[in-house]
Amino acid sequence: MATATRTAGPGPVKEGPAGGSKRGARAPRRTFRPRTLVITAVAWLLAALFLAPYLEMIVTALRPADELRDRTYLPDKLDWSNFIDVWKESSLGDNLQVTLLVAGGSTLLVLLVSLPAAYYTARMRFKGRKWFLLLVLVTQMFQPTALLVGLYREFYQLDMLNSVWTLILTNAAFNLAFAVWILTAYIGSIPPELEEAAMVDGTSRFGAMIKVTLPLALPGVVTAVIFTFISAWNEFVMGLTLSTEPSSQPLTVGINNFIGAYTVQWNYLFAASVVAIIPVVVLFAFIERHVVSGLTAGSVK
C-alpha cells in the first residue's frame, strides 16, 4: 500500500480554515483618505491661528526694551528680567492677591447659594417653578455696565468702595443665575429613586443630597465652578469702577495701568498678561473633562 508523504518548505505550515496553508496574516495597511488629510490640515491651521497671539505675547514679554520697535519676530536675546521688574516696580503682587480672593470668594458664594436653589428647583414641583426658571434666565440678559451707576452709588453710600467684599458680591451676583440654571439641569437628570433608596435606609433628605446627589452631580458643579471662576478672574469694568486705589484693584485693572496716555510699556504689559493667564490655564487643564460632561448634562433622557 502506497503511503502519501507531504513535504513542507523551510518554515512551519499552518492550516487555514478551508484546509489551505498560510505563513502568517499581515496587518492591514492604514490608508489616509484625502478628506482626513484636509480635516487634519484645517485643524492644525485653526490651532496655529488661536495660538499665534499667545506666542506673540510670550515673545514680547521676553523682548528687551531697546528691541520693541524692531521688525524681527524673535529678539536677539531673551530678557527674563521683565518678569522681575514688573513684579517689583508695580503693584502686580497685590493685584494678583485681590483677584485670587475675588475669584475664589465669589465662586464659593455662588456654590453655597446655587446648590440648594438648584436642588429644590429640580426635585420639587412647586407653583411658579417655570416662572422662576424663566426669571433666572432673564437675569442673564442684563449687562454689568447697565447697572454700573446704580451699583457705584449703592456701595458709595455703604462706604464699601475699594473693598474685596464689594467685588466678591458683585461677581457672585452676576454669575449666580448661570450656576442655578446649569445645576438645575444636571440634578434633574439624576434619578430621584437613588435618593429615595438612601432615605429608606434612614438617611435624611439633606444627607441623601450630600452623599448621593452631590457626588453624581460633580461634573455639573465643576462646570459652574470653572465658569464662575474664569468670569470673576477676567472681570474688568466693575473692578475699574469700584476700586480706585492701586493696591485694591484686581489683576485686569492692574495690567491696564501699563497703558499710559502717550506710551505703552509693551514688555511689562505682556509679562503681566502671561502671569495673569497661567492660573486659569492650569485650572482648566485639570478639570476640562468634567466641564465637557457638565455642558452636555440633560441633553439625553
Does the residue 195 lie in any domain?
A: yes
Domain of 153: which CATH number? 1.10.3720.10
280: cell is: 486659569
Q: How far is it, in rounded angstroms, from Cα 175 to Cα 172?
A: 5
The one-letter amino acid at 195: E
Q: How far is it, in rounded angstroms, from Cα 278 to Cα 275?
A: 6
Per-residue model confidence as pLDDT tens digits over 255-294: 888 887 677 778 888 888 888 888 888 877 777 666 665 5
Q: How far is it, in rounded angstroms, from Cα 29 to Cα 139?
A: 57
| Residue 169, pLDDT score | 92
Backbone angles phi, psi at 286, to 5 degrees: -75, -35
- Tell me whether strands 21-22 and 14-15 are parallel, antiparallel or unpaired: antiparallel
Q: How far is it, in rounded angstroms, from Cα 74 to Cα 125?
A: 62
Q: What is the mean pLDDT of residues 166-193?
A: 88
- Strand pairing partners for 21? 15
Does the residue 106 lie in any domain?
A: yes
Burial status of residue 176 (CB atoms within 10 A of its CB: 0-12, 13-18, 19 or more): buried
Kindly report the length of the chain. 301
Does the residue 200 lie in any domain?
A: yes
Q: How far is it, in rounded angstroms, from Cα 223 to Cα 298?
A: 14
Cell 478628506: give the residue.
35
Percentage of the chain modeled with pLDDT above 70:
84
Per-residue model confidence as pLDDT tens digits over 226-257: 889 988 998 888 888 888 888 888 988 888 88
Does the residue 52 lie in any domain?
A: no
| Residue 27, pLDDT score | 56
Q: Which residue has the higher pLDDT, 178 or 294?
A: 178
pLDDT for residue 22 is more than 70: no
Backbone angles phi, psi at 252, to 5 degrees: -65, -40
- Strand pairing partners for 14? 22
Q: What is the mean pLDDT of residues 120-126?
A: 83
> Of the ranges 6-15, 120-129, 145-154, 168-177, which one carries the lowest mean pLDDT score?
6-15
pLDDT, the chain, mean:
80
Q: Report the candidate in 45, 72, 43 with the shortest Cα–Cα distance to residue 59.
A: 72
pLDDT for residue 1 is more than 50: no
Q: How far is it, in rounded angstroms, from Cα 129 to Cα 121?
A: 7
Query: Considering its fold, how many domains does the chain have in total?
Result: 1
The end-to-end CA distance of the chain, in Å, is 75
Q: Which residue has the higher pLDDT, 9 or 273?
A: 273
Cell 482626513: give the residue.
36
Q: What is the mean pLDDT of residues 80-89?
A: 81
Does the residue 118 lie in any domain?
A: yes
pLDDT band of 3, cuts 50, 70, 90 = very low
Q: How far is it, in rounded angstroms, from Cα 231 to Cα 237?
A: 12
| Residue 7, pLDDT score | 47
Q: What is the mean pLDDT of residues 99-105?
A: 92
Q: Report the candidate in 64, 86, 85 with the shortest Cα–Cα distance to residue 74.
A: 64
| Residue 5, pLDDT score | 47
Global pTM value: 0.74
Q: How far is it, in rounded angstroms, from Cα 96 to Cα 102?
A: 10
Q: How far is it, in rounded angstroms, from Cα 130 to Cα 136?
A: 10
pLDDT for residue 298 is more than 80: no
Does the residue 116 lie in any domain?
A: yes
| Residue 74, pLDDT score | 78
Does the residue 131 lie in any domain?
A: yes
Q: What is the mean pLDDT of residues 195-224?
A: 84
pLDDT for residue 102 is more than 90: yes
Does the residue 255 lie in any domain?
A: yes
| Residue 106, pLDDT score | 94
Q: What is the mean pLDDT of residues 155-161?
A: 89
| Residue 291, pLDDT score | 62
| Residue 32, pLDDT score | 58
Q: Which domain holds residue 150?
A: 96-295
**Given its phi and psi angles, is residue 268 left (phi above 0), alpha (psi -120 to 50 degrees) or beta?**
alpha
Q: Count of CB atoms within 10 A of residue 135's CB?
A: 11
pLDDT for residue 180 is more than 50: yes
